Amino acid sequence: MNQKKLRIGLVCPYGWDTPGGVQSHVRDLAEYLIAKGHYVSVLAPVVDEEKAPEYVTSAGKPLAIPYNGAVARLLFGPIAFARVRQWISNGKFDLLHLHEPAIPSISLLACWAAEGPMVGTFHAAAKRQKAIFAIGPILEPVIEKLTARIAVSEAARSTLTEHLETDAVVIPNGIYADRYRDGEVVEKWSGNTIGFIGRYEEPRKGLPVLLEALPIIARFAPDVRVLVAGPGESKEVLESIDPQLRSRFEFLGRISEKEKADFLSSVAIYVAPNTGGESFGIILAEALAGGAAVLASDIPAFDSLLGNGEFGALFKSEDPQDLARVAIDLLRDGDKRRALAKRGKEYAQRFDWDVVAEDIYSIYEMALVGSSGVTLSSENRAWNRFLGREGS
C-alpha cells in the first residue's frame, strides 16, 4: 500500500470506554493507519482519560441515551461543540472521517463545525419509527456537506437511503482475520459446544431465544453445552433456565482477544440469535475467521453478511424451534458442519483490514481531490447550524 502520508481526524460518537462495534472499528482503523505512517487523531467521548490511547482526544464524558434497542453513550451540546471546534483547529487535518454523523453526537457537531474533505461512515440499521433519523430535515443540509459516504452493510445503506434519500458505497467493518485464524483449540471449550459472545443482558442480543431452544437441542444432542462469554450478571439468567439444564451452561465473563480467538476455534457452533438493531455483525466475521460453523438469525444484516446462508447457517429470527432444528442438524452432521466452517473461514478474508483499509483509503483519495485541507466554518455559520437556524 503506497500512500501519501495524511493527517486524518477520526470522530467516534460513542463512549470510548464502552465495548461496541463502532468503537472497535474506529480503534482498529486508527491503529492500522498509524502503522502505515499516517498521523491520526481520534476524538471521542471518554470517561477515563488516563486509560485512553495517546491518539485519542476526549470531548468530555458521555451520557447514556436509549437508541435503536440499546443504550448509546453519546455527547452533544454547546460545551462539546466548543471542544470539537478546538480539536479541528488544532489538528490541521487533511481530512475528517466521521462515524455515525446522522445522530446527535460529536460526529454531527464536527460536520457542522468543519469545511473541507469529510467522509462519513454510517453504521446503523434501524426502522424509520425507531431511528433518530426522524430529524432528517435538520440533518439533510449537514449530510450534504460530506464529500463521500460509506455504509458498513447493505442494511446500513438502506437505512441511509430511506431516511435521508442519499446513497453510500458499501465497505464492511474490518477485522484482523489472522488473529482469529491462528486461534488454538482448547479442550474445555470443544466437543458438542455452542458458543455465544455478547452483552447477554441486552434483549436484542437474543440469548433468551437460545435459552428457549436449549431443551429441544438437548433432547437430540444429550451432551450439548452452551458457553457464554461477555459482560453481565449470570445469576438471573441461570435462574430462568430449567434446573435440569443449568449444568449445560457456563458463563465465562469477559474474555481477552487471545481467548476469543481460541474460543471461536474451539466451539462446534457459534450462535448469533440477535433479534434486530444490527447493521453488520463484526462478531460473525470474527467467528468465521476463527473457523467456527456460524448459525445466525436471518435479520437482514446477518443474512447479507453470510451470503444468504452460503457461509453460515440461518434460522428464522426469534424462532427458538427453528434455531433448535438447524443447530441439531449441524451438531449431528459433522461433515456438513466442517464444510460450512471451511467456506466461512476462506470468505472471512474479505473482511481483513488489509482489504478494508485499502477500500477506505481509496475513498479518502477521492475526497481529497482538489482540496487544501480541513478548516473551521465561521463561528456564526457553524453556531446557526448547531441551533438549526441556517440562513438566519
Domain ranges of the chain: 7-174+352-386, 177-350
CB-CB neighbours of 139 under 10 Å:
20
Asked if pLDDT for residue 1 goes beyond 80, the answer is no
Using alpha carbons only, what angle is made at residue 8 by residues 3 and 14, rounded to the nearest 5 degrees?
Answer: 130
pTM of the model: 0.86
Position 42 pLDDT exceeds 90: yes
pLDDT at 392: 44
Phi first, then psi: give them for residue 144, nearest 5 degrees: -65, -20
Contact criterion met (CB below 8 Å) for 144 and 252: no
pLDDT digits (tens, 9 = 90+) for 86-122: 999 999 999 999 999 988 899 999 999 999 999 999 9
| pLDDT over 90 at 136, yes or no | no
Antiparallel, parallel or unpaired: β 375-376 and 114-115: antiparallel
pLDDT of 206 above 70? yes
pLDDT at residue 201, rounded to an integer:
83
- What percent of the chain stands above pLDDT 70? 91
Residue type, 260: K
| Model pLDDT, residue 380 | 53
Query: How sure is the predictor about 72, in pLDDT bands with cuts at 50, 70 and 90?
Result: confident
**CATH superfamily to which 7-174+352-386 belongs:** Glycogen Phosphorylase B; (3.40.50.2000)
Lowest-pLDDT range of 113-117, 131-135, 274-278: 131-135
124 confidence band (pLDDT: 50, 70, 90): confident
CA atoms within 13 A on the CB side of 111: 31
Per-residue confidence band for 30, with pLDDT thresholds at 50, 70 and 90: very high
> How much is the pLDDT for 129?
43
Per-residue 3-state assignment (H helix, E strand, C coil) for 61-105: CCEEEEECCEEEEECCCHHHHHHHHHHHHHHCCCEEEEECCCCCC
Task: Give residue 316's pLDDT.
Answer: 98
The CATH architecture annotation of domain 177-350 reads 3-Layer(aba) Sandwich (3.40)
Q: Quick one: pLDDT at residue 278?
A: 87
Average pLDDT over residues 207-232: 94
Over the stretch 43-66, which tens digit does the pLDDT of each residue have? 999 999 999 999 999 999 998 877
**What local confidence, expressed as pLDDT, does residue 115 receive?**
96
* C-alpha cell at position 356: 478494508
Could you give the percent of the chain with pLDDT greater than 90?
Answer: 73
pLDDT given for residue 130 in this prediction = 47
Whether 7-174+352-386 shares its CATH topology with 177-350 is answered yes
Q: Mean pLDDT across the stretch 152-175?
A: 90
